[in-house]
């Protein structure tokens, strides 16, 4: 089942790319992507937040190119967190507290009832009406993205 969803996602991405090329928006998209450089200092919550807002604006445009609503809802959920001071600050602090943990350690913490991770995810989710397990998924994705940034920077 997981592989099928991945293939569906890849098919959706291919469809988006075809639509962008067909619409002639390639240059506009490339320019917007270059606007996301340089990568932010992820430890600076303000700098990261501004960068995330630009990135989400681009993702929102790309999500509009698909026929599904799932990606639109995902972007909306992320925007609700980014635009809510308490939720964003709580999420950033949570991610920074987990940044050096392995993916498996975080999964164990997320699955442990009453863990600090669950409690903090619940607090962030309460601010924006998102369930704690979705917040934990966002945390996992963010940590993977930050690992990618750290690799590029060599730190």
DSSP for 100-137 reads TS-HHHHHHHHHSTT-HHHHHHHHHHHHHT--HHHHHH
pLDDT value for 127 = 92
pLDDT average, residue stretch 28-33: 76
Within-domain flag for 64: yes
| pLDDT tens column, 70-105 | 888 888 989 999 999 999 999 999 999 988 888 888
Within-domain flag for 10: no
Find the domain containing 118 and state its range. 39-153
| pLDDT tens column, 109-145 | 887 888 888 999 999 999 999 998 888 888 888 888 8
Within-domain flag for 7: no
What separation, in Å, do the N-terminal and C-terminal C-alpha atoms of the chain show? 36
pLDDT average, residue stretch 25-32: 73
Q: Is the pLDDT of residue 10 over 50?
A: no
What's the number of domains the chain is made of?
Answer: 1
CA distance 86 to 90: 6
Within-domain flag for 18: no
In degrees, rounded to 5, the angle at the alpha carbon of residue 103 between the alpha carbons of residues 57 and 86 is: 45
């Amino acid at each position: 089942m997981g592989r099928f969803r991945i293939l569906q996602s890849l098919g959706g991405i291919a469809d988006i790319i075809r639509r962008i090329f067909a619409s002639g928006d390639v240059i506009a998209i490339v320019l917007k992507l270059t606007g996301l450089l340089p990568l932010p200092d992820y430890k600076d919550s303000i700098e990261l937040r501004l960068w995330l807002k630009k990135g989400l604006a681009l993702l929102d445009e790309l999500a509009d190119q698909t026929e599904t609503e799932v990606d639109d809802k995902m972007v909306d959920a992320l925007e609700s967190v980014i635009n809510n001071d308490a939720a964003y600050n709580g999420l950033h602090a949570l991610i920074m507290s987990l940044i050096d943990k392995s993916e498996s350690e975080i999964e164990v913490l997320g699955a442990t009832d009453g863990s600090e991770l669950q409690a903090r995810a619940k607090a962030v989710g309460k601010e924006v009406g998102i369930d704690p397990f979705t917040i934990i998924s966002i945390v996992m994705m963010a940590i993977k993205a930050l690992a990618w940034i750290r690799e590029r920077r060599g730190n």
